[in-house]
Structure 1
Amino acid sequence: MSERRISATRVVDAPAERIFDLLADPAKHPLIDGSGTVRGSRSTGPRRLELGSRFGMDMRIGLPYRILNTVVEFEEGRLIAWRHFSGHRWRWRLRDLGDGRTEVTETFDWSTARFPRGIELLGFPERNRKGIEATLERLGRVVRSEER
């Protein structure tokens, strides 16, 4: 695993703006999380993310814990990425297809992590690959249900 990035892409039947609004709202992250680890957002963070925003999440992998994230990449309606305390990133890239549909790519990038080998030894890349696939599926369902 020399690249230290995994991604999946799916076309979602919703405009990019609507999907981006969902991703930029940390309170909505538990709704779209397919990994089962995101439990809730911390009330101390911003309601809408932007470059430099810091936001906390309640998580659970076996035991509950809290994590603080910082938005490190941001292009309104197109790109958002946040970094965890250990340096790895979750990135979302949106490409508006012009017909009310959007190509959505989610990436787990541990090339920037402080201890990338530890992430690999603990099996997070494969676990996160499965979580990304499930998250993209859920994202489509959530964005459709919110338009009603």
Structure 2
Amino acid sequence: MDTSPYLQSRQRLVPAPPRAVFELLADPAMHPVIDGSGTVRAARGGSPDRLRLGAEFGMDMRLGVPYRISNTVVEFEDGRTIAWRHFSGHRWRYELEPVDGGTLVRETWDASRLKHKWALRVLGFTRTTPGNMERTLERLAAQFDGGATPS
């Protein structure tokens, strides 16, 4: 685990091959299904069916009130790594490593480059993001283990 509140990582074994996990992560329509924060509602119209380097996609969100967010894919190694950057500059990154029993998935939230990091702390994101990431990875794994998606 990382120690900075603005750079957090979590990992989990997902019982599926890296290709299957990557295809799910590269599909914006699946993001609400695996989101552990409860804020991602739907991929916005005009989002690509499959992400690629440089792809722009939007999400309908809700955190108290509905809002929209835009993202750009900034890292993409097919079957291995995908990361997108929000308009404010923080990144969500997924790294996939084949292991016995499936894929080790490491999710990283990186807000370390933001100018106004204090706002994330005041709004509680530095406190809630680690648990949200753990729930996301749990929901991701549930897509492949035959169990129901956790609520």
Aligned partner (choices 3, 7, 10) of residue 8 of structure 1: 10
1:103 aligns with 2:100: no
Q: What is the Cα deviation at residue 100 of structure 1?
A: 4.7
Give the alignment's TM-score, normalised by structure 2: 0.90
For 1:114 and 1:72, the matched residues in 2 are separated by 19
- TM-score (norm: length of structure 1): 0.92
What residue is the counterpart of 1:87 in the other structure? 89
Structure 1 segments, 4+ long, off by >2 Å, are: 1-4
Query: Aligned-pair distance for 1:144?
Result: 3.5
1:56 matches 2:58: yes
Distance 1:2 1:18, change over 3 A: closer
Distance in 2 between residues matched to 1:3 and 1:121, nearest whole Å: 12
> Residue 65 of structure 1: which of 57, 64, 67 is its match?
67
Identity of aligned residues (%): 55
Amino acid in structure 2 at the alignment position of 1:24: A
**Residue number in structure 2 paired with 1:129:** 130
Q: In the alignment, which residue of structure 1 is the partner of 2:30?
A: 28
Q: Distance in 1 between matches of 2:4 and 2:10?
A: 18
Q: How many residues are matched?
A: 145
What is the alpha-carbon root mean square deviation over aligned residues?
1.6
Distance 1:32 1:2 in 2: 25
SS in structure 2 at match of 1:55: strand
Paired with 2:85 and 2:115, the residues of 1 have a C-alpha distance of 11
* Structure 2 unmatched runs, 5+: 147-151
1:86 touches 1:115 (CA, 8 Å); kept in 2? Answer: no
Query: In 1, distance between residues paired with 2:70 and 2:53?
Result: 15
